[in-house]
Structure 1
Amino acid sequence: MPRGDKSAYTDKQKRQAEHIEENYEKHGVPKKEAESRAWATVNKESGGGRKSGSGRKNHSKS
């Protein structure tokens, strides 16, 4: 998959990124920077593309 390809993301993740990007643009961030920040935020929150569903619990040690 080439860099920048968003096909591995769920529709929900794409919508989240779009809303985040719009909010950044509303606050004066340039479009390209807003898009970059939005996807970084989605990745931080979800861990990347297509990872939703059952059996995906985090079993990290305390």
Structure 2
Amino acid sequence: MPRGDKSSYSPKQKRQAAHIEASEKKEGRSDAAAERIAWATVNKQDGGAKGRKATKKTAAKKTTKKTVRKSAR
């Protein structure tokens, strides 16, 4: 499959890309930029073609115990 081939995307992903592309064109982007942004957005949301799940890299949170002071009334 050549680079840039969109045949392995689902119909839903293609509709999403078309909607995003139209929105970007309405904002004044060029055709090429709108298409690039649309497919980058679909890839980021769905992890690319064939429904691959995107992996999220999250930093481990360092938990600390905080003492809770009760207000003296």
Report the alpha carbon displacement of residue 4 of structure 1 after superposing the two structures with TM: 1.1
1:51 has 2:51 as partner = yes
In the alignment, structure 2 segments of 5+ residues that lack a partner are 61-73
Matches within 5 A, 1:2-17: 2-17=2-17
Which of the pair has the greater relative contact order for Cα pairs under 8 Å at 6+ separation? Answer: 1
TM-score scaled by length of structure 2: 0.70
Paired AA for residue 44 in structure 1: K
Tell me the SS of whatever aligns to 1:50.
helix
Residue 19 (structure 1) aligns with? 19
| Matched length | 57
Tell me the C-alpha RMSD between the 2 structures.
1.9
Q: Which runs of 5+ in 1 are unaligned?
A: none
Q: Percent sequence identity over matched residues?
A: 53
Higher Rg: 2
User: Paired residue for 1:42?
Assistant: 42
Letter in structure 1 aligned against 2:17: A
